[in-house]
Amino acid sequence: MSELIVRAERWFREQPGVIACQVGGRTPAATTYGQLSRSVDHAVAALAEAGIRPGMRTGLLVPPGPELGALVVALVRLRAVPVLVDPGLPLDAIKRCLRQAAPEAFIAIPAVQVARRLLGWTPDVRVSITVPARRRRGPAWTSRGPVRGHRPGEPEHWPPAGPDDLALIAYTSGSTGPPKGVPLRHRHLTAQLGLLGALGTVRPGMPVLSTFAPFALGAAAFGATVVIPDMDPRHPVRADPAALVADIQRYRVAGMFAPPALLDRLARHCAARGLVLDTLGDVVSAGAPLPMPVMERLRGCLRDEARVLSVYGATECMPVAAIESRLLAEHAAATAAGAGTCLGRPLPGAEVRVIAVTDDPIERWSEDLVVPSGTVGEITVAAPTVSDPYLDDPGATALARIRDGDRVWHRMGDVGRFDGHGRLWFAGRKSERVRTAGGDLHTDQVEPVFAAVPGVRRTALVGVGPAGAQRAVLIVECEPGSRDNGRMKEDILDTAARHPHTAELREVLFHPGLPVDARHNSKIRRHELARWASRRVRAGR
């Protein structure tokens, strides 16, 4: 039986009166595990009646909340395959994802159903189910169907899912390229839950606020009380920090999952008002490396004994490594000098190797690929969490996977290194390295060097010109209120001259606001900035 179902039924049985989901904001609503259990039972019956059956790919675009949780558990119990697409993607990207996944069923709120029909997202859908946009007492939805033909019997008599059965299809965020479909089997989910449990950040009954739907579902699998803030699920980093503080205080939130950019907004808000979030004991940052300045600001609004964990991983294998903020702070001087960002040691069960950088496919694994400790290369992972090949995308799969007998190594697309103590360090995205005549420059070994320059909010390193002969350009976004760009440029060039790997940096451009992906707001769109910088450099500005 699916590990997700085993865990869900345990909490349904053992703590029916504990709140499973607390929706915050101006119209709060609480759902207990007992109520969620009844919603799941109702959903199973309604979905089966509508025509959902084992193996059926089912597009699911429903906002975070108890309805989403009940539907995911119901679909897994029915052995259907939820197709999860990031709602923050552009409409054309959502269309491509759904066209590729070719779901036979589609469950969504009314506005999404209208968009699906008008834009032709799922031309071959056979079952359409609409979930109310506004929360009501008890589950209520309408369906169009059912599927004609043979019905496979009552759901309670259907055989349970096995470890090798397909559990769901999740799409990557698309922040570093077109979104890719990631098929996850039940054994992958079991391994993910095991590694998340090893972090020790979630306990039964613990109020946990999450701006990531996957982490919210994961927290519920551990019997926690999931607090869903009132926010636009397409743009979680735009959540109102004042509203987040109100939810944290009102529900005495003890754990939080959020991307670095949102944690930065929250920390700046608290610092400006002298607030301490004294209920928070565990904060987990994911989606991008946790910058040192953000970590320092965040710690300033937490209790001294609170833990801040930066978790490294990807949709294809999550999680891989984690580091606590106190250890991260011990490496602050090294990061500021250009060593990169420490990611910590790999988690138990995740085997990590660093190999020589290449943009070409690698068909078979060899230990000759591995570079010596201390050398920057591409990060690869072999673990029970590593997903199946990308959905209908052999080209992307060839670039991301290396066969090694009965297992595979996933190429993370990141560059980094191991230090002498077995800790993994992040240097940047492989596709964003700047390839100069003197060698490669990596974003996370260059940008932190300038974090302490007065007036600098964040920077982006890009290359202008052909690979192998690129000119390194540093693009700067200033703190609000900063005016003297000439003085700031002098400080930046003086700082660059003090470090061997940045000494040749001569080009500095100022940008009013670095473009970022709408979902995490931490992943800078450097390829877009490179085109902008190329135009500015050619114009002599």
Phi, psi angles (nearest 5°) of residue 534? -60, -45
* pLDDT tens sequence for the chain (541 residues): 688 899 999 999 999 999 999 998 878 899 999 999 999 999 999 999 999 999 999 999 998 889 999 999 999 999 999 999 887 788 898 999 999 999 999 999 999 999 998 988 988 899 999 988 755 444 455 555 544 333 445 566 667 888 999 999 999 876 667 899 999 999 999 999 999 998 999 999 999 999 888 888 899 999 999 999 988 777 777 789 999 999 999 999 999 999 898 999 999 999 999 999 999 999 999 888 888 889 999 999 999 999 999 999 999 999 999 999 999 999 999 999 999 999 999 999 999 999 999 999 999 999 999 999 999 999 999 999 999 999 999 999 999 999 999 999 999 999 999 999 999 999 999 999 999 999 999 999 999 999 999 999 999 999 999 999 999 999 999 988 877 788 999 999 999 999 999 998 999 999 998 888 755 556 788 999 999 999 998 876 6
Contact present, 373 and 417 (Cβ < 8 Å): yes
Which alpha helices (DSSP H) does 285-410 contain, by range? 292-299, 325-330, 332-336, 394-400
Contact present, 321 and 345 (Cβ < 8 Å): yes
Q: Which residues contact 27 (CB under 8 A, 6 or more apart)?
A: 135, 230
Q: What pLDDT does residue 368 have?
A: 97
What is the C-alpha separation between 437 and 425, in angstroms, rounded? 25
Closest CA to 55 of 75, 74, 81, 83: 81
What is the C-alpha separation between 247 and 41, in angstroms, rounded? 30
Peptide bond into 146 cis (omega under 30): yes
| Delimiting residues of CATH 2.30.38.10 domain(s) in the chain | 348-432
Fold of 348-432: Luciferase; domain 3 (2.30.38)
Q: What is the Cβ-side half-sphere exposure of residue 532, based on CA atoms within 13 angstroms? A: 19
Fold of 433-538: GMP Synthetase; Chain A, domain 3 (3.30.300)
| Tokens 């969504």, located at residue | 108
CATH-assigned architecture of domain 33-185: 3-Layer(aba) Sandwich (3.40)
What is the C-alpha separation between 273 and 323, in angstroms, rounded? 29
| Delimiting residues of CATH 3.30.300.30 domain(s) in the chain | 433-538
pTM equals: 0.91
If you count them, how many residues does the chain have? 541
Closest CA to 427 of 440, 414, 436: 414
Closest CA to 8 of 71, 54, 52: 71
| Delimiting residues of CATH 3.40.50.980 domain(s) in the chain | 33-185
Q: What pLDDT does residue 144 have?
A: 56
Structure tokens at 371: 């570079």
Which alpha helices (DSSP H) does 337-401 contain, by range? 394-400
What is the C-alpha separation between 132 and 110, in angstroms, rounded? 7
